[in-house]
Amino acid sequence: MKTFAEINERLKAGRAVVLTAEEVVPLVREKGPRAVAEEVDVVTTATFGPMCSSGVFINFGHSDPPIKMSKVWLNDVPAYAGVAAVDAYLGATELSESRGMEYGGANVIEDLVAGKQVKLRAVSHGTDCYPRREIETMVDLSHLNQVYLFNPRNAYQNYPVAVNSSNKMLYTYMGTLLPHLGNANYSSAGELSPLLNDPYYRTIGIGTRIFLSGATGYVAWEGTQHNPSQNRTENGIPVSGAGTLALIGNLKEMNSRYLRAALFDRYGITMYVGVGIPIPMLDEEMARSVGAGNDEIFTTVVDYSVPRRSRPALGQVSYAQLRSGAIELNGRRIPTGSLSSLSRAREIAGTLKTWLSEGRFLLQEPVQTLPLHTRQNPLQDGEDRA
C-alpha cells in the first residue's frame, strides 16, 4: 500500500518511477500487478478528442459608463450573459449568426488562446447603476479578467462505436457514417484513456489535478450524463459510455495545440480537448487496472441509423480490433476510423510524465469520490407521461 503523500514525497525528491499507461501494460503482463505496484509510483493517462460539452466563463471588466450586458456576441457568436453584469459563458458548439457552421464558439476559444483579438458586442436595457445600453470593442486574452475553461462533460469512459446500416449517408457527432455498414467510427485512446485506467474512480475524483489543454486543471465535479451503472467486464471496465468528468482550468495558461476547434460536416462545431490524468499506484488493484491492454478493453457497436434514444447494439469489439483498421460484424469486414488522436494523446501522456518526473506536477488526492451507482433519467414528453 502507498499513499498520495508518500508518492508526492518521491516526486519532490526526483525518485519516483513514472510510466505512461502504454508503457505499463507489457510490464504488468511480464511481472504481474503486485510487482508493478511496488516498482511504479505513477502511471500517466491521456486523451485528445472531440468534446462538445466544453466552453469558457469570461469576465470582461467594467466599461465607463458601465453596462449590464444582457446579450453578448464574440465574433458574432452568441454567449450566454444571464450570469452577472459583465460575465458570460461561451459554449464551444454555439454557431456564428453570420457564418453558420463555418465558425463557432470553439473557434473563438481557439482564437483567444492563439493570442488573436475578437470582436465583443453587447447590448443592455439600461439601469440606474448600469446606464450604458450598447458597447462594441476588440478584446484579447491579455485584456480580459478571469477566463477559465469550464467543461461540463469531458473524457467519456468508453464511448460506443458508431455504424450505419441504412441505405443513406448519415452526418453525426460521430462523423460521417457510410451506408450499409460502410465504416465504423470510434473516439477513444483505448488503453491510454483516463477513466479506462481507473474504472471504479478510486483515484480520479473531485479535486484531482490534471493536464488540461497544456495547463494545470482540475476535476470540478462528475460530468453531465455520468452513468457508471453500465454493464462491465470481469476487469471492471464498462462496455459502453459510463463515467464523465466536469473539468476546469485557466484558459490564459493553455496551448492551442491541445485545444482545437473542429467542424463535423453537416453536424456542427466541436472542440478537441487534451486531457491527461496521473494514476497513483496505490496498491496491486490499481496496478491490475492500469495493466488492461487494448485486447482486454471492449466497447459496444451501435447502429446510428435508428433515430431513437436507445439505438440497437450490434455486438462488442476490443480496442485492439478497432486499432487494427477493421472489425468483423455480421460476417463482414468493416473499416474503422478514430475521431480522437492517439499520437496527440501519447504526446500529452509523455508531457505529463516529464512534469511528474521533474517534480513540477504533484498528485492531488480527491476531496470526494465520484458516484458509482447513479443512473440517467430520460426526458419525457407529454405522450410519455400520458
- Quick: pLDDT tens for 125-176: 999 999 999 999 999 999 999 999 999 999 999 999 999 999 999 999 999 9
Contact 99, 127 (CB under 8 A): no
Cell numbers 478584446: residue: 139
Task: State how far the Cα of 46 lies from the Cα of 188, in Å rounded to an integer.
Answer: 10
Name residue 214's amino acid: G
Active site residue 129: yes
> CA 148: distance to chain centroid?
15
Q: Which residues contact 47 (CB under 8 A, 6 or more apart)?
A: 155, 188, 189, 192, 193, 194, 274, 275, 340, 345, 348
CB atoms within 10 A of CB 378: 8
Q: What are the pLDDT digits (tens) for 170-218?
A: 999 999 999 999 999 999 999 999 999 999 999 999 999 999 999 999 9
Catalytically annotated residue among 1, 13, 129, 386 = 129
Q: What angle do CA 282, 285, 288 make, to 5 degrees?
A: 110
pTM as predicted: 0.97
Q: What are the pLDDT digits (tens) for 245-298?
A: 999 999 999 999 999 999 999 999 999 999 999 999 999 999 999 999 999 999
- C-alpha dist (Å) from residue 96 to 74, 77, 99, 135: 9, 4, 5, 19
Judged against a pLDDT cut of 60, whether residue 385 lies above it is answered with no
- C-alpha dist (Å) from residue 294 to 24, 67, 190, 284, 323: 12, 54, 6, 20, 8
Q: Please provide the DSSP assignment of 293-350 as one string.
A: -GGG-EEEEEETTS-SSSPPEEEEEEHHHHHTTEEEETTEEEEEEESS-HHHHHHHHH
Nearest to 123 by CA among 131, 132, 139, 134: 134
Task: State how far the Cα of 25 lies from the Cα of 45, in Å rounded to an integer.
Answer: 12
Judged against a pLDDT cut of 80, whether residue 243 lies above it is answered with yes
Task: State how far the Cα of 88 lies from the Cα of 73, in Å rounded to an integer.
Answer: 10
Judged against a pLDDT cut of 60, whether residue 386 lies above it is answered with no
> Which grid cell is 194?
483516463
Cell numbers 454557431: residue: 95
DSSP 184: E
CB atoms within 10 A of CB 56: 24
Contact 86, 69 (CB under 8 A): yes
The 8 Å CB, 24+ separation contacts for 164-169 are 164/303, 164/304, 164/305, 165/303, 165/305, 165/314, 166/305
- Secondary structure of residue 300 in the 3-state scheme: strand
Judged against a pLDDT cut of 80, whether residue 86 lies above it is answered with yes
What pLDDT sits at residue 375? Answer: 85
Task: State how far the Cα of 80 lies from the Cα of 87, in Å rounded to an integer.
Answer: 9
Range 57-68 average pLDDT: 98
What pLDDT sits at residue 27? Answer: 98
Cell numbers 476559444: residue: 109
Q: What are the pLDDT digits (tens) for 318-366?
A: 999 999 999 999 889 999 999 999 999 999 999 999 999 999 999 999 9
Q: 223: pLDDT confidence band, cut at 50, 70 and 90?
A: very high
Contact 59, 144 (CB under 8 A): yes
